[in-house]
């Protein structure tokens, strides 16, 4: 069932330059592999490299123990290629760091194209408040693995 679902997530996708997306992707079998700061920083560095190479403009993110939320604006790259690069590079470095092998990310990802009328700062606030809603912290500022250009 997981294979069918991940395949169906990729069907009919269109991504255009300058489109803003809210992305969610989860670890393989939703394992809590991102629950320590050094591992989470590998994910952040991968995002930063994609931003610095001008493939995306990273607007907000949060790294949760078993998934990430990432608000990006595409540059001259399609979303599938960005996510392939993100997942491939981060998985390789995290697997090396954790001395493990095998799949790190679950196949597929969820994306939501942000419409012009949506308030980006509210989307960003929702993303970075995930640790608060999950009961991981009492204040958003206490969680170390998030950022947003507006906050």
DSSP string of 135-149, one letter each residue: TS-SSGGG-SSEEET
| Cα separations in angstroms, 37 against 34, 42, 63 | 8, 9, 10
d(CA 33, CA 30): 8
pLDDT surpassing 70 at residue 2 = no
For 2-148, CATH number?
3.30.70.1290
d(CA 145, CA 151): 14
Inter-residue contact 106 to 30 (CB < 8 Å)? yes
Q: What is the mean pLDDT of residues 63-73?
A: 98
Going by C-alpha positions, the residue among 83, 54, 53, 88 that lies closest to residue 70 is: 83
For the chain, the average pLDDT equals 90
Going by the DSSP 8-state scheme, the letter that residue 115 receives in this structure is P
Confidence of residue 3 (pLDDT cuts 50, 70, 90): very low
- Cβ neighbourhood burial of 29 (10 Å; 0-12, 13-18, 19+): exposed
- What pLDDT, on the 0 to 100 scale, is given for residue 17? 75
pLDDT surpassing 60 at residue 10 = no
Does the reported pTM lie above 0.85? yes
Q: What is the mean pLDDT of residues 144-150?
A: 94
């Amino acid at each position: 069932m997981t294979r069918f679902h991940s395949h169906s997530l990729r069907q009919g996708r269109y991504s255009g330059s300058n489109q803003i997306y809210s992305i969610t992707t989860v670890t393989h079998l939703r394992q809590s592999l991102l629950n320590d700061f050094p591992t989470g920083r590998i994910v952040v560095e991968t995002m930063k490299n994609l931003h610095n190479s001008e493939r995306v403009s990273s607007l907000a993110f949060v790294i949760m123990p078993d998934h990430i939320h990432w608000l990006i604006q595409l540059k001259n790259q399609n979303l599938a290629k960005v996510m392939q690069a993100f997942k491939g590079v981060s998985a390789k470095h995290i697997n090396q760091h954790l001395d493990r092998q095998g799949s790190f990310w679950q196949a597929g990802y969820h994306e939501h194209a942000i419409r012009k009328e949506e308030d980006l700062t509210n989307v960003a606030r929702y993303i970075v408040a995930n640790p608060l809603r999950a009961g991981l912290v009492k204040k958003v500022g206490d969680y170390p693995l998030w950022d947003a250009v507006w906050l």
